């Protein structure tokens, strides 16, 4: 409180209704007003919470005044009893992580202007974040080119790069978070062990070496290893605290924001590369080989780290964008699926399914789960259910109806096609996502009807994350031997 300007005009005191014209009438009002501006700087404490705390403060002050203390004395005692503002803000942040997950990520609960030296290393660590991220990004870019030194030829050995894309880049992201969160030995061992298992399996499996056609299990293993390794990076992201629902939700938020930033960087990088080639071509110099062999692969790898750093550091510059996108696309997605149901009923030719239909519907379900999860991640858990929550019920229900139609159609025809690796993988993913959505729909209906707290909806999604990891690891590690590396 000592640093606060005593004359600070308070905007929030109109809650008390005690002064109409902005001139402080009594000592207590002025003191409370300056206390309010001080505490309102904390992002973790919402204005309604400050109202609640102010009510408490004033009750306490009134009590103490009744016992004969002076205004100043009563105010000082009451403020002291509330507790240190930093501790209080941290406690609010722990409960309301959606309000400022960036500050939690950076490791302390204080706003930039009032940083307190709780840990001497924290500030330096934050400042060094960009340097370390850039260093690791350059290292990841070089790691992508490293196999060429050992005789791997990029255009010919496409399958090598396909299998190892995540293995070459994501360890650097995991290392960044290990450094950032000062990870303990156990989580480091878990993450390193996970990467080692995938590295050995994906490169030791005797996939069909034919370069002209990629083995189906190889492609599946490559795709699913990216998902599995990303979730393993999540262990490092949460600082080893991956069992807590809130840390898992933070990782989900991070993933969404990272994706958006990565897309922006990729768009910018692609446009710049095209411009570079064009400008040099106009003076008769061909730089396209340099762009395609060096700039694009190294840039794509390095951007993974830069995007991660941007998510952590620049949260304030742009609002969280993933939740905004969900708000826009949830109604559109719902409309699309309702139209599809109507079309399927009118035409009744969904039964005549092609092989790719199931994969297309996996994509639909992935989008639905993503829309659901990101709107959950940004929602104030204390808000009463509104129109958007009801719309989500409709979206979930229509997605499930469509999926059931597709599943019935597919199951009817498995006899004809048999269980190929591709079909088993897409059927498994479909069932996993449908199971998630069925239970999510049940919880969502309970929440809309006011029977269940929002925490139940939230906890279901964070509790489901290990299922994705297990399935991705199973497809990547067990499918190739199960299907004879075909």
Partner 1 sequence: MRIGKDLVAAAATPVVLGILADGESYGYAILQRIADLSGGELQWSDGMLYPLLHRLERLGQVESEWRQSDAGRPRKHYRLSAAGAAALAEQRRQWTVVGDVLGKVWPHDGGPRANLALGMA
Residues that bind partner 1 (CB under 8 A): 15-17, 49, 51-53, 55-56, 58-60, 62, 81-84, 87-88, 91-92, 94-96, 381-382, 452-456
Query: Left (φ > 0), alpha (ψ -120 to 50) or beta: where does 426 sit?
Result: alpha
Q: Which is nearer to partner 1, 60 or 288 (CB)?
A: 60
Cβ distance 35 to 1 under 8 Å? yes
Least distance to partner 1, CB of residue 349, Å: 46
Instruction: List Cβ neighbours of 214 (8 Å cut-off, separation of 6 or more).
Output: 158, 159, 162
The Cα–Cα gap between 9 and 30 comes to 8
And the tokens for 277? 């080639």
Q: Which is nearer to partner 1, 360 or 455 (CB)?
A: 455
Cβ distance 381 to 455 under 8 Å? yes
Q: Which is nearer to partner 1, 82 or 394 (CB)?
A: 82
Cβ distance 177 to 236 under 8 Å? yes
Least distance to partner 1, CB of residue 94, Å: 7
Q: Which is nearer to partner 1, 80 or 413 (CB)?
A: 80
- In the chain, DSSP finds a helix count (H) and a strand count (E) of 17, 0
Q: Which is nearer to partner 1, 361 or 447 (CB)?
A: 447
And the tokens for 214? 């990629």
Q: Which is nearer to partner 1, 123 or 446 (CB)?
A: 446
Cβ distance 228 to 273 under 8 Å? no
And the tokens for 88? 């209080």
Half-sphere exposure (Cβ direction) of 323: Cα atoms closer than 13 Å: 14
Give how far Cα 212 sits from Cα of 155, 224, 312, Å: 12, 22, 42
Q: Which is nearer to partner 1, 59 or 356 (CB)?
A: 59
Least distance to partner 1, CB of residue 444, Å: 15
Least distance to partner 1, CB of residue 196, Å: 38
Least distance to partner 1, CB of residue 66, Å: 13
User: Cα 211–212–217 angle (5° rounding)?
Assistant: 70
Least distance to partner 1, CB of residue 43, Å: 14
The Cα–Cα gap between 58 and 60 comes to 5
Q: Which is nearer to partner 1, 312 or 458 (CB)?
A: 458
Least distance to partner 1, CB of residue 452, Å: 7
Least distance to partner 1, CB of residue 14, Å: 11
Q: Which is nearer to partner 1, 225 or 375 (CB)?
A: 375
The Cα–Cα gap between 415 and 19 comes to 79
Least distance to partner 1, CB of residue 5, Å: 23
Least distance to partner 1, CB of residue 15, Å: 6
The secondary structure of the chain in percent helix, strand, coil, rounded to multiples of 5, reads 75, 0, 25
Q: Which long-range contacts (CB under 8 A, 24 or more apart) does 108-112 make?
A: 109/42, 109/44, 110/42, 110/86, 111/41, 111/42, 111/43
Nearest residue to 65 via CA among 76, 54, 49 = 76
And the tokens for 148? 């060429």
Q: What are phi and psi of 337, to 5 degrees?
A: -70, -35
DSSP per-residue codes, 46-100? -HHHHHHHHHHHHHHHHHHHHTT--HHHHHHHHHHHH--HHHHHHHHHHH-GGG-
Least distance to partner 1, CB of residue 73, Å: 17
Instruction: List Cβ neighbours of 291 (8 Å cut-off, separation of 6 or more).
Output: 273, 276, 277
The Cα–Cα gap between 432 and 208 comes to 29
Least distance to partner 1, CB of residue 233, Å: 28
Q: Which is nearer to partner 1, 56 or 182 (CB)?
A: 56
Q: Which is nearer to partner 1, 37 or 60 (CB)?
A: 60
Least distance to partner 1, CB of residue 422, Å: 42
And the tokens for 94? 């722990």
Q: Which is nearer to partner 1, 60 or 424 (CB)?
A: 60
Q: Which is nearer to partner 1, 4 or 95 (CB)?
A: 95
């Amino acid at each position: 409180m000592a640093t606060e300007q005593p004359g600070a005009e308070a905007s929030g005191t109109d809650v008390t209704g005690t002064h109409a014209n902005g001139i402080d009438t009594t000592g207590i009002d002025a003191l409370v007003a300056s206390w309010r501006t001080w505490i309102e700087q904390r992002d973790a404490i919402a204005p309604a919470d400050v109202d609640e705390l102010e009510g408490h403060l004033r009750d306490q002050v009134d009590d103490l005044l009744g016992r004969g203390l002076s205004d100043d004395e009563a105010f000082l005692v009451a403020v002291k009893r509330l507790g240190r503002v930093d501790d209080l803000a941290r406690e609010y942040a722990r409960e309301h992580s959606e309000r400022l997950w960036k500050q939690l990520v950076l490791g302390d609960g204080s706003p930039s202007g009032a940083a307190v030296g709780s840990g001497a290393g924290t500030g330096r660590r934050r400042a060094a974040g960009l340097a370390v991220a850039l260093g690791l990004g350059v290292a990841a870019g070089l790691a992508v080119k490293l196999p060429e030194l050992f005789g791997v030829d990029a255009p010919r050995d496409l399958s090598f790069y396909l299998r190892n894309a995540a293995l070459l880049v994501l360890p650097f992201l995991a290392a960044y978070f290990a450094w950032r969160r000062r990870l303990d030995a156990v989580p480091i061992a878990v993450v390193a062990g996970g990467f080692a298992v995938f590295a050995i399996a994906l490169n030791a499996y005797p996939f069909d070496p034919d370069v002209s056609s990629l083995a189906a299990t190889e492609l599946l293993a490559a795709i699913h290893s990216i998902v599995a390794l990303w979730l393993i990076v999540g262990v490092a992201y949460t600082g080893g605290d991956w069992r807590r629902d809130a840390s898992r939700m933070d990782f989900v938020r991070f993933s969404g924001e990272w994706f958006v930033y990565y897309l922006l960087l990729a768009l910018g990088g692609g446009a710049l590369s095209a411009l570079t080639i064009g400008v040099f071509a106009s003076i008769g110099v061909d730089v396209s080989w340099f762009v395609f062999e060096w700039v694009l692969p190294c840039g794509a790898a390095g951007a993974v780290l830069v995007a991660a750093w941007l998510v952590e550091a620049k949260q304030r510059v742009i609002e969280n964008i993933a939740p905004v996108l969900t708000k826009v696309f949830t109604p559109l997605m719902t409309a699309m699926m309702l139209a599809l149901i109507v079309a399927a009923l009118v035409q009744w030719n969904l039964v005549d399914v092609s092989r790719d239909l199931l994969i297309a519907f996996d994509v639909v379900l992935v989008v639905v789960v993503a829309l659901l999860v990101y709107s959950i991640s940004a929602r104030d858990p204390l808000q009463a259910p509104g129109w958007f929550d009801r719309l989500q019920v409709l979206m979930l229900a229509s997605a499930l109806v469509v999926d059931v139609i597709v599943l019935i159609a597919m199951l009817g025809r498995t006899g004809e096609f048999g269980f190929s690796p591709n079909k088993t993988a897409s059927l498994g993913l479909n069932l996993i996502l449908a199971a998630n959505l069925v239970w999510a729909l049940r919880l969502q209906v309970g929440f809309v009807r006011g029977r269940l707290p929002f925490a139940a909806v939230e906890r279901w999604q964070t509790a489901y994350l290990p299922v994705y990891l297990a399935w991705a690891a199973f497809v990547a590690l067990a499918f190739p031997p199960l299907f004879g590396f075909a």
